[in-house]
């Protein structure tokens, strides 16, 4: 109980680490890409921006917003476990009465809170430009993508030293392979079904950010895939040596 309380208190330090090491780069990305893009669009489109989901701009906004979420998750989970291993920080951290599995599980959720908070900033700014933009829907989408993509990133961070490259490769590779073979009816199409469900993202982004609803199976597929890899990451963390 006392150990759990100590670890819970340490979450404040983990959140501080998130802010300085991950939150600041995410916010810079949000401002440079998201906000600046939207302001330029508003200046170019004028009153059409206010037309909401009927506007042709809406698709562009959705695309930019969902891409920013994916990049933010990539930044947030990059090195979440592997940095401590690569740089040897685990030595002093885990000579204390701390369970590494609980430590990193807690850090994963602290980063989730941080990503959602960062996206709250972005969505608040977007709402000033696009009044029909729903902050709640966008944050739900962010949380979903964090679990789906972050769960895989967490596993890769336990399993490899080059986790962000691996995650980007898995994410992009899945997209390409699904585009190439997903529609066919041979063994390859069956095989690509095992890959991360990145093909669901556009549809879920459209429906969840736009209307606040999405197909339950799509959401469960994304959540389940990420959660499964997150749990696999925790199991691997328990059984793999902390030192290389």
List 15, 33, 90, 221, residue binding another protein (CB under 8 A): 90
Contacts of 154 (CB under 8 A, 6+ apart): 77, 80, 81, 104, 108, 229, 230, 233
CB 79, CB 21: distance < 8 Å: no
The verdict on 43 binding another protein (CB under 8 A) reads no
Distance CA 101, CA 107 (A): 10
* 149-162 as b/e: b if 16+ CB within 10 A: bbbbbbbbbbbeee
Least Cβ distance, residue 82 to another protein (angstroms): 14
String marking each residue 98-127 x if it binds another protein according to CB under 8 A? xx----------------------------
Residue with Cβ nearer another protein (185 or 241): 241
User: By CB under 8 A, which span of 35-43, 51-59, 88-96, 167-175 interacts with another protein?
Assistant: 88-96
User: By CB under 8 A, which span of 6-14, 70-78, 150-158, 196-204 interacts with another protein?
Assistant: 6-14
The verdict on 1 binding another protein (CB under 8 A) reads no
Residue with Cβ nearer another protein (88 or 131): 88
The verdict on 96 binding another protein (CB under 8 A) reads yes
The verdict on 235 binding another protein (CB under 8 A) reads no
SS3 sequence of 77-131: HCCCCHHHHHHCCHHHHCCCCCCHHHHHHHHHHHHHHHHHHHHHHHHHHHHHHCC
The verdict on 160 binding another protein (CB under 8 A) reads no
List 6, 48, 191, 211, residue binding another protein (CB under 8 A): 6
Residue with Cβ nearer another protein (90 or 181): 90
Residue with Cβ nearer another protein (160 or 189): 160
Q: Note the residues at the interface with another protein (CB under 8 A).
A: 2-3, 6-7, 9-10, 13, 20, 87-99, 241-243
């Amino acid at each position: 109980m006392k150990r759990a309380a100590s670890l819970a208190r340490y979450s404040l330090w983990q959140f501080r680490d998130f802010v300085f090491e991950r939150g600041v780069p995410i916010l810079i990305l949000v401002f440079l890409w998201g906000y600046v893009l939207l302001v330029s669009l508003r200046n170019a489109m004028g009153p059409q921006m206010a037309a909401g989901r009927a506007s042709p701009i809406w698709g562009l906004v959705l695309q930019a917003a969902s891409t920013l979420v994916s990049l933010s998750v990539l930044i947030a989970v990059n090195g979440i476990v592997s940095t401590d291993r690569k740089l040897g920080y685990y030595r002093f951290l885990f000579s204390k009465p701390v369970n590494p599995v609980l430590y990193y599980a807690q850090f994963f959720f602290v980063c989730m809170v941080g990503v959602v908070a960062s996206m709250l900033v972005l969505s608040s700014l977007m709402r000033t430009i696009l009044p029909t933009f729903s902050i709640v829907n966008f944050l739900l989408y962010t949380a979903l993508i964090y679990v789906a993509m972050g769960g895989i990133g967490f596993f890769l961070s336990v399993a490899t030293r080059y986790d962000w490259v691996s995650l980007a490769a898995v994410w992009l590779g899945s997209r390409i392979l699904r585009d190439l073979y997903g529609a066919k009816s041979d063994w390859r199409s069956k095989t690509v079904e095992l890959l991360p469900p990145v093909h669901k993202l556009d549809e879920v982004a459209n429906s969840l950010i736009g209307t606040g609803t999405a197909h339950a199976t799509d959401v469960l597929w994304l959540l389940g895939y990420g959660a499964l890899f997150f749990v696999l990451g925790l199991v691997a963390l328990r059984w793999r040596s902390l030192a290389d």
